[in-house]
Amino acid sequence: MVTFATEPVTSFTRRVQLTFILLILLAMTAVGTSSVYLVRSQFESKSKNQLLEKTNSILLELSSQFKTENLFNKTSDELLNLKIKEYARLYNTPISIFNKNGYLQNTSEPKLYELGIAAPLLNPEAFETLKENLSSSFCVKEKATNFSYLSLYTPMFNAAHEITGYINLPYFAKQSDLTKELSGVIGTLINVYVILFVLSILAGLILSAYITQPLRLIKQQIS
């Protein structure tokens, strides 16, 4: 009689403890996944803002040196090439300029195109979006061989506010920064999760004991 009453109570207690621990683990997984997604989103947003700031600064530099229409004259090619290489060093970013039809006009890093890392044509999605004036700039993820990178395209206008070309800044070699941020977040989460897991086990034991207390009283009465 005692054995019959004890086993159901013990089994129920274990189920309560297991359910509580599983719920905690699910909550931890959800928080961890959300945190990683948030870090990635913030990193990408920060990268886009940096690209946009650099692009605006470079456009100001170019406008102080050239009229927009002259950027696409053959007579300006040599001076333009010198200037964008200077700005590329100053702002620590490759710079490419495309004409209004989307063909590469000039670049600070010709090897990117010679090696096939970048295409000598404007990204089709960016071209259609910017040509229709649907956005003041367009940021897209592009792929080259075995890695991907962010690439920002911004239209260039003449005095009549007509598009005369496009400027492009890619965002290379910053995955290490993202990896560092993710490593820091994951490391912190692991430390917190170890503490929470221990606390959840203790809480599960206390909760299961509280829930099963009436059953234990009934067991004693039956005994």
Q: What's the CA gap between 48 and 171, in Å, rounded?
A: 9
Give the pLDDT confidence of 72-124 residue by residue, as tens digits. Answer: 777 777 888 888 899 999 998 899 999 889 999 889 988 888 877 778 889 99
Secondary structure of residue 118 in the 3-state scheme: coil
Cβ atoms within 10 Å of 135's Cβ, excluding its own:
13
Six token digits for residue 181:
């941020």
Residue 70: predicted pLDDT: 64
pLDDT in tens, 132-149: 876 788 988 887 766 777
Residue 183: CB atoms within 10 A of its CB come to 10
Above 50 in pLDDT, residue 4? no
Q: Which is more confidently placed, 33 or 99?
A: 99
Q: Is the pLDDT of residue 181 over 60?
A: yes
Q: How far from chain centre, in Å, is Cα 109?
A: 25
Structure tokens at 3: 């054995």
- Whether 60 and 52 have beta carbons less than 8 Å apart is answered as no
pLDDT value, residue 127: 92
pLDDT at residue 97, rounded to an integer: 92
Q: What percent of the chain has pLDDT over 70?
A: 68
Q: Is the pLDDT of residue 195 over 70?
A: yes
